[in-house]
Structure 1
């Protein structure tokens, strides 16, 4: 060994130069590894200098104890090092670290945070070496943990006693990675044509693998989207015939995409004019009139305690909420109409129109409730089937109740034309008939 060298032109690199050309030059950027090599290979022992992060950590710990008046207590704890070291569960601590990094989306360099080391040291100062200062160590821990959990999930999926019910976009590489092609049962998605195309391509791919998967029979429509289309038809279509004509025309072009196209047709109908919506259109215009002027909006809010809100194109329930709030604040809305009568003559709600609004709310109430009941983790298949049956009965009762109200009955019929189409498709699914 000729001597030690340090490369100053590159990031700090420690190395050994050998006089014997048969022995290769040794170099490393990690001082701990370099000291270990000197001691193991050459018998040279060097004093290790504390890492700057460790120094800062120790200072933070001392400051924490000093501020808390616990310096003497810390000295007493030094005598209990063996007990404290035995209490450290390294495996559990590293798993907790992985969860902290992944769940909270922390960067891998958190291992060099003095504050984190100070926290660990304050809890148990003998655990100072439990977290490596290397950024790569955290990355390796996370990667190893991912592989372990992925393997557990793969075994559970492959050993599932029943078929898998997919409710997210299918990714071919995921199905291949987990090798669960033969476990695919049903797919749930909204009514957009792209999802039907996806199911069709999936069926063809599985058929090429020797598996049977029928797109039309194993495709489940999104429950919330079905309700949305049915209520949109009630609000904006002229009649049952208009709704069916729209459906038939769309299906003539592309049957699998009629859901998305029907929504566009509804939007076109609505764009013809808010006045065609009758009392609902008047509520919309009153709300718009309030929002056009800050003074009017604040005046109504101060008197009524809140604003009316506003409908939007995203979800039908914004219409229901606007209707519900308007009826609950009827006294204040009537006051607002009288105050700005000159501007709201065309949007003035007559007594009989208030009655129509109440009937409309009564009809839409079950749809609103069912939307809430089948959201998130509550959207199970059995609950969906049950609520579809509830709505089917609700339509029957509504037809009987409003048999003399031709205008409202026409709106209900338009909604029924859409709902019944999806209801029959749902009832035709093989897992429903079983």
Structure 2
């Protein structure tokens, strides 16, 4: 090592980068060394200490196989080549009468001209790992989700040919060919997964959910979880069958049953089913139990094995706690769903929680005469309307909010939330309003959504954070509307 250090010091390249080294050499550095990252496996570790870089690079000598040689310092690599492979360097120098020039840090001549034996076409093709290439393309298409036509792009082909110019006829150049490889991979790994599911240490638990693709295709995701023979929790996606002829529970049950049948999952090995609180999922599980019983003769206790979405239940409880005005309103909502079957009670309660009519509350709760009089007086008062610039939807929202019983009105009965909702609708009513808002506030407000449980939290967070800017924005918009009314008058 000392001799290497002295050689580096003598050459004056101890602290130089690889680019400055290569520009001073009369031979091609890349024909003797390739770059490796010995610590790159540390990137696979999870947690707060996960490595974000590949670590130190190492220059590995191509010509030293037994034993291999590598070093982290490029100057040491140059010294190694000039010491251990002097004959190859002289041969490469003899191939050129004058030192090679670089253009933008890349050697202008071919790399093959600097080594003694030029690789043949057969050698270049034999070093191409076609299976690894196919798996890489399949992984790119399925994990990053580019279009299948990406394999037909000339840029991807040029990239592969730049690495190996002899493999032009071995590349995937057709989208149908790529889809065929994906189907083959799925068939291969699904058969392996089916074998693993026969050696589980636990029941096989399933979950399903409907999803609509950007191209408006309805698909049903069927997932499984189980404990393997090493007592480790495993999970997998069994299939994404397309839901073509309806989204009813019976249709979903047929798709789930066909997926389970493909993986040899029977009623005896099937565990719990996890799904959201939609009534169609109850029907799906009931129909699935009939199919499984007809196929295997074993009964599947679908009511006991049904696990509902705990997030939805917690969301309903929070809404009832935060938005209900009285216990009578909650009692009215519960009584309105009391006659419904247990499988649909949560869904019906959610609907009643958001759309309970004042008349229904009066009919189901003990309303005092004073409360009835206050309700009548409030209904007789003229409804406060927004200006036409806020849009028809915002006006309707405030009209509904003013007519809802104050004991239970949901978010419509809370003035601050009703105002935020109207503001969100106004911003989204036109691109001009959105641009004016963003210029004044600098952050999108968003909008509340009944199916996005954290939407109200996000809207309120933005409103509190940008309160001064929002007050200024609303004041300016009000002034503009007043001026427009005056000028029109």
TM superposition score normalised by structure 2: 0.46
Distance of 2:174 and 2:465 partners within structure 1: 62
Task: Using the TM superposition, give the Cα deviation of residue 341 of structure 1 relative to its aligned residue in structure 2, in angstroms.
Answer: 11
Task: Kindly report which structure 2 residues correspond to 1:200-215, keeping only aligned pairs within 5 A, or say none.
Answer: 200-208=286-294, 209-215=296-302
Q: Against the structure 1 CA distance between its residues 70 and 314, is the aligned structure 2 distance closer, same or farther, given a 3 Å change threshold?
A: same
Is 2:318 the partner of 1:231? Answer: yes
Q: Against the structure 1 CA distance between its residues 310 and 136, is the aligned structure 2 distance closer, same or farther, given a 3 Å change threshold?
A: closer
Distance of 2:124 and 2:331 partners within structure 1: 76
Q: Please say if residues 304 and 329 of structure 1, whose CA atoms lie closer than 8 Å, have aligned partners that are also in contact.
A: yes
Partner SS, residue 168 of structure 1: strand
Q: Against the structure 1 CA distance between its residues 192 and 306, is the aligned structure 2 distance closer, same or farther, given a 3 Å change threshold?
A: same
Q: Please say if residues 280 and 323 of structure 1, whose CA atoms lie closer than 8 Å, have aligned partners that are also in contact.
A: no
Task: Using the TM superposition, give the Cα deviation of residue 147 of structure 1 relative to its aligned residue in structure 2, in angstroms.
Answer: 1.4
Match of 1:73 among 101, 105, 111: 111
Q: Against the structure 1 CA distance between its residues 109 and 249, is the aligned structure 2 distance closer, same or farther, given a 3 Å change threshold?
A: closer
Task: Kindly report which structure 2 residues correspond to 1:125-274, keeping only aligned pairs within 5 A, or say none.
Answer: 125-131=165-171, 138-169=178-209, 171-181=256-266, 182-208=268-294, 209-269=296-356, 273=401
Distance of 2:415 and 2:206 partners within structure 1: 43
Q: 1:29: which partner in 2?
A: none
Q: Against the structure 1 CA distance between its residues 155 and 248, is the aligned structure 2 distance closer, same or farther, given a 3 Å change threshold?
A: farther
Q: Which has the higher strand share?
A: 2
Distance of 2:277 and 2:174 partners within structure 1: 50
Q: Please say if residues 112 and 119 of structure 2, whose CA atoms lie closer than 8 Å, have aligned partners that are also in contact.
A: no
**Aligned residues: CA RMSD:** 4.4
Partner SS, residue 319 of structure 2: helix
Partner SS, residue 302 of structure 2: coil
Q: Against the structure 1 CA distance between its residues 338 and 80, is the aligned structure 2 distance closer, same or farther, given a 3 Å change threshold?
A: closer
Q: Against the structure 1 CA distance between its residues 333 and 183, is the aligned structure 2 distance closer, same or farther, given a 3 Å change threshold?
A: same
Match of 2:415 among 278, 282, 289: 282
Partner SS, residue 203 of structure 1: helix
Q: Please say if residues 284 and 311 of structure 1, whose CA atoms lie closer than 8 Å, have aligned partners that are also in contact.
A: no
Q: Which has the higher helix share?
A: 1
Distance of 2:285 and 2:136 partners within structure 1: 40
Task: Using the TM superposition, give the Cα deviation of residue 180 of structure 1 relative to its aligned residue in structure 2, in angstroms.
Answer: 0.8
Q: Against the structure 1 CA distance between its residues 290 and 162, is the aligned structure 2 distance closer, same or farther, given a 3 Å change threshold?
A: closer
Q: Against the structure 1 CA distance between its residues 337 and 135, is the aligned structure 2 distance closer, same or farther, given a 3 Å change threshold?
A: closer
Partner SS, residue 307 of structure 2: strand
Task: Using the TM superposition, give the Cα deviation of residue 269 of structure 1 relative to its aligned residue in structure 2, in angstroms.
Answer: 3.0
Partner SS, residue 285 of structure 2: helix
Task: Using the TM superposition, give the Cα deviation of residue 96 of structure 1 relative to its aligned residue in structure 2, in angstroms.
Answer: 2.1
Q: 2:456: which partner in 1?
A: 319
Q: 1:99: which partner in 2?
A: 139
Higher relative contact order, structure no. (Cα contacts within 8 Å, ≥ 6 residues apart): 1
Task: Using the TM superposition, give the Cα deviation of residue 111 of structure 1 relative to its aligned residue in structure 2, in angstroms.
Answer: 6.3
Distance of 1:109 and 1:296 partners within structure 2: 38
Q: Which runs of 5+ in 2 are unaligned?
A: 1-102, 210-252, 358-396, 480-489
Q: Please say if residues 287 and 309 of structure 1, whose CA atoms lie closer than 8 Å, have aligned partners that are also in contact.
A: no
Partner SS, residue 451 of structure 2: coil
Task: Using the TM superposition, give the Cα deviation of residue 151 of structure 1 relative to its aligned residue in structure 2, in angstroms.
Answer: 0.7
Distance of 1:237 and 1:210 partners within structure 2: 48
Partner SS, residue 93 of structure 1: helix
Q: Against the structure 1 CA distance between its residues 322 and 102, is the aligned structure 2 distance closer, same or farther, given a 3 Å change threshold?
A: closer
Partner SS, residue 118 of structure 2: helix
Q: Against the structure 1 CA distance between its residues 255 and 322, is the aligned structure 2 distance closer, same or farther, given a 3 Å change threshold?
A: same
Partner SS, residue 274 of structure 2: strand
Task: Using the TM superposition, give the Cα deviation of residue 283 of structure 1 relative to its aligned residue in structure 2, in angstroms.
Answer: 0.9
Deviations 1:135-165, CA, capped at 9 Å, x for gaps: 7654543332221111112112222211122
Q: Please say if residues 308 and 326 of structure 1, whose CA atoms lie closer than 8 Å, have aligned partners that are also in contact.
A: yes
Q: Please say if residues 311 and 318 of structure 1, whose CA atoms lie closer than 8 Å, have aligned partners that are also in contact.
A: yes
Partner SS, residue 287 of structure 1: helix
Deviations 1:290-342, CA, capped at 9 Å, x for gaps: 56489999998777765765434333433333444445566677888999999
TM superposition score normalised by structure 1: 0.51
Deviations 1:107-141, CA, capped at 9 Å, x for gaps: 77766655444322210223334336677654543
Task: Using the TM superposition, give the Cα deviation of residue 223 of structure 1 relative to its aligned residue in structure 2, in angstroms.
Answer: 1.8
Distance of 2:288 and 2:315 partners within structure 1: 27
Q: Please say if residues 303 and 332 of structure 1, whose CA atoms lie closer than 8 Å, have aligned partners that are also in contact.
A: yes
Task: Using the TM superposition, give the Cα deviation of residue 197 of structure 1 relative to its aligned residue in structure 2, in angstroms.
Answer: 1.3
Q: Against the structure 1 CA distance between its residues 269 and 93, is the aligned structure 2 distance closer, same or farther, given a 3 Å change threshold?
A: same
Q: 1:5: which partner in 2?
A: none
Deviations 1:360-402, CA, capped at 9 Å, x for gaps: xxxxxxxxxxxxxxxxxxxxxxxxxxxxxxxxxxxxxxxxxxx
Q: Which runs of 5+ in 1 are unaligned?
A: 1-64, 343-434
Partner SS, residue 165 of structure 1: strand
Q: Against the structure 1 CA distance between its residues 283 and 322, is the aligned structure 2 distance closer, same or farther, given a 3 Å change threshold?
A: farther
